[in-house]
Structure 1
Amino acid sequence: GEIVAFNDALEDEPELMNSDPYGDGWIVRMRLEDMSALDGLMDAAAYAAMLGE
């Protein structure tokens, strides 16, 4: 894949990664060559279930 953007706002406000991870706290934007690379990843709900939360 290829990283196509970095979130420059995090340089001045790194706390955005914790306070707004699905909004302004994004870290990078990527372009994947093979979308099947995402097949083994969990969404937030599955991860919370795995942790027993």
Structure 2
Amino acid sequence: MREILAIVKRLLKEKGYPPTIRENATVPGLTSTTVHGYLDRLQRRCFEFCRNDLPR
């Protein structure tokens, strides 16, 4: 989960918007389903990095 958070933070800083599920799934051994689960858990833990007005 730390790897996902690091990717999200890095891409937010670089691009100004959150990465796609596919971009997050670039970590070896992760699938889009796994990434979805990690992102849901991170959001529940108050890491609000997704904006509801963006399709990502």
Q: What TM-score results when the alignment is normalised by the length of structure 2?
A: 0.23
Structure number with the higher helix fraction is: 2
Structure number with the higher strand fraction is: 1
Q: What TM-score results when the alignment is normalised by the length of structure 1?
A: 0.23
Q: Which has the larger radius of gyration?
A: 1
